[in-house]
Amino acid sequence: MRARSRLAALGAAAVLTGTLLTGCSSAGTTAQEREAAVVHYEADYPTYASAAEVVGASDVIVRGTVLSSRVEELWPQVSTEGDPAANPQAGLGAQEAAAVQPVVVTVSTLQVTEVLKGTVTVGSTIEVSQLGGQLAGRRYVDAGTTLLSKGAASEYVLLLADHGAGAPLDLVNPAQGLFRVAGGTSLESVGGPEAGLGLASVEGLKAEVAQQQ
């Protein structure tokens, strides 16, 4: 298990900047307008230059389908110490640190149908956390994140980071770590061909995993 940036370990709302696009608190705001409120997140994620890099960075690679999902608030652990390059909250005053807001995430439960890397077992369920979701009449959106969807036709291959017992897994990168399975064997990157890093089939991904073992 490698230590790297993860939604639950962001620690800093400074890493995520939210912009509310509608005036939800104004007295004249209608219920319909409040429902349409959107908060846009901007987040920094590790990026990878090749298939070998993204596979090497993954603790777990699985194929699976979504059983259910829930939206919840994730409260970062606040620490104002350390290197600002590693901890964006370093140097914040007590008042600023106290003002850190929760991050809205969608946690999906998936049934694993195939394991390409890692100690997960076929038939088990895993939880995967992604930034964004709809909560309390507001929609929270990260432009780089495609939320997992439930449905018989929605089968995914996910390249995941493992952060220990009790914590959901998350994608090593929201675009480079998530593929839809098409036709049973083809992989379609949610981020488009460039984000797919040449990984176009399940067999090709298996071959890359095997090369690194």
What local confidence, expressed as pLDDT, does residue 110 receive? 97
What local confidence, expressed as pLDDT, does residue 45 receive? 87
> Domain span at residue 154?
38-76+95-211
Most distant CA pair in the chain, distance: 61
Amino acid identity for residue 85 in this structure: A
Task: Note whether residue 14 is domain-resident.
Answer: no
Per-10-residue mean pLDDT of the chain, 213 residues long, equals 42 40 47 67 90 97 96 68 47 53 89 96 96 90 92 88 90 96 94 96 97 92
Task: Note whether residue 2 is domain-resident.
Answer: no
Task: Note whether residue 67 is domain-resident.
Answer: yes
Q: How far apart are CA 163 and CA 142, in angstroms?
A: 21
Q: Provide the number of structural domains found in the chain.
A: 1
Q: C-alpha distances in angstroms, 182 versus 179, 190, 200? A: 9, 12, 10
Report which of 190, 184, 180, 176 is spatially closest to residue 203, judged by C-alpha positions: 184
Question: Do the beta carbons of residue 176 and residue 54 sit within 8 Å?
Answer: yes
Task: Note whether residue 6 is domain-resident.
Answer: no
What local confidence, expressed as pLDDT, does residue 94 receive? 56
What local confidence, expressed as pLDDT, does residue 166 receive? 85
Q: C-alpha distances in angstroms, 76 versus 39, 160, 163? A: 18, 20, 15
Task: Note whether residue 5 is domain-resident.
Answer: no
**3-class DSSP assignment, residue 87:** coil
Task: Note whether residue 15 is domain-resident.
Answer: no
Q: Which residues pair with 104 in a beta bridge?
A: 73
Task: Note whether residue 16 is domain-resident.
Answer: no
> Residue 62 is part of a domain; what is its CATH number?
2.40.50.120
**What number of other Cβ atoms are within 10 A of residue 103's Cβ?**
24
**3-class DSSP assignment, residue 86:** coil
What local confidence, expressed as pLDDT, does residue 60 receive? 97
What local confidence, expressed as pLDDT, does residue 182 receive? 93
Q: How far apart are CA 57 and CA 5, in angstroms?
A: 12
What local confidence, expressed as pLDDT, does residue 112 receive? 97
